[in-house]
Structure 1
């Protein structure tokens, strides 16, 4: 059964007299608890899809559903609540509040949602039990990204949206972060959607959606995803 559905979704941008379709009749579905990778070259429309699903942008045509709720019909007030309660975001750059500790950054997210997870427990689960009182400047890039993931998970969201989450990290740290995301999917039954340009990551996903020039070029289901430790790029 589909948990996330895009049906003929279009998003247009106007530059002078020219109209550019960042999303051009995009259709796909993702099951609950799946680890999904949306892959494609830079400028293909991947982030546009993620922003529409996350309620940060709206589509001009088509239908977007999450757990049978029609996201594409929501007004601004409903979208604000949707972003607050249902969606966890992890970005390439960690977007942490620099003058708050790791714990306080996570608490900030847990205080704005309806059914949060305990911040201390979530930080332990991402391997930062000993670093809760450190400020972002005292943490490595990988540790800061772990705080960002903990912040997203503390909201207990329905979906976790990750936009190039390893883009600012070195190879081995990036692998560690991807393993953490894969483990969150498996151990917490979270629907995790990762946007990347790196084709080599696709074997770790349950579902791969290829986007090119604003269109879905193909979708693959993988019945035997492999651990990220076995992937090299």
Structure 2
């Protein structure tokens, strides 16, 4: 059985008199330890899918199975626990607490997890052990994003969800961040789902989900993923 399975998932939003269908009968599956890329233009429905997978939003129909559990049936309290214990989030903007050091930002995640990893060990993993006592304002954009990834990994999550994680970074720094996420999937067996509008990134994925107008237009398995170092965009 796949680690993630979406079956005929739907999500609608009401905007005054108008109902907008953001996700319209989406199906796909992702295996444990996969590095999956959800790609599509703005408004394709990919962020809605991420929010549904992460328990930040609830679906209007269909099934969302994660690790054998149907989270679409969860109530608010169950979703809060699911987000807290099972999911690591990485966003385009780093969402670091400005008056805490890098290591304190990472420790924040450890405090709300059942089985956290050591904050200093994870900072070392992302190549920032020397910056542990720096505040976010003393770090570059790429370093701040690495702290954000370390914070997500420190929770020891089952699933790492990344929404345009390189969107605010320059080309080379973005590549370094993608390599870090890919290594996390490979070395730690964490299932990683990356949302992006950059179609070039599909070459490095195990699974590719191409979305348009709230539907999956293409889903395929990549037999020979290309290392991110060899991808140009």
State TM-score, norm by structure 1: 0.99
Residue 223 of structure 1, CA deviation: 1.1
Match of residue 76 from structure 1: 76
C-alpha distance after superposition, 1:165-194 (max 9, x if no partner): 000000000000000000000010110000
Q: Distance in 1 between matches of 2:146 and 2:207?
A: 24
- Aligned partner of residue 130 in structure 1, secondary structure: helix
Residue 19 of structure 1, CA deviation: 1.5
Q: Distance in 2 between matches of 1:128 and 1:30?
A: 31
Deviating 4+ runs (over 6 angstroms): none
1:212 counterpart = 2:212: yes
1:175-214 aligned within 5 A: 175-214=175-214
Match of residue 225 from structure 2: 225
> Which is further off, 12-21 or 113-122?
12-21
1:41-190 aligned within 5 A: 41-190=41-190
Residue 118 of structure 1, CA deviation: 0.6
Structure 2 gap ranges (5+):
none
Residue 18 of structure 1, CA deviation: 2.1
- Aligned partner of residue 36 in structure 1, secondary structure: strand
Q: Distance in 1 between matches of 2:31 and 2:223?
A: 13
Structure 1 gap ranges (5+):
none
State TM-score, norm by structure 2: 0.99
Q: Distance in 1 between matches of 2:159 and 2:17?
A: 37
- Aligned partner of residue 58 in structure 1, secondary structure: coil
- Aligned partner of residue 219 in structure 1, secondary structure: strand
Q: Distance in 2 between matches of 1:15 and 1:131?
A: 45
Residue 38 of structure 1, CA deviation: 0.1
Q: Distance in 2 between matches of 1:111 and 1:219?
A: 37
Q: Distance in 1 between matches of 2:160 and 2:95?
A: 16
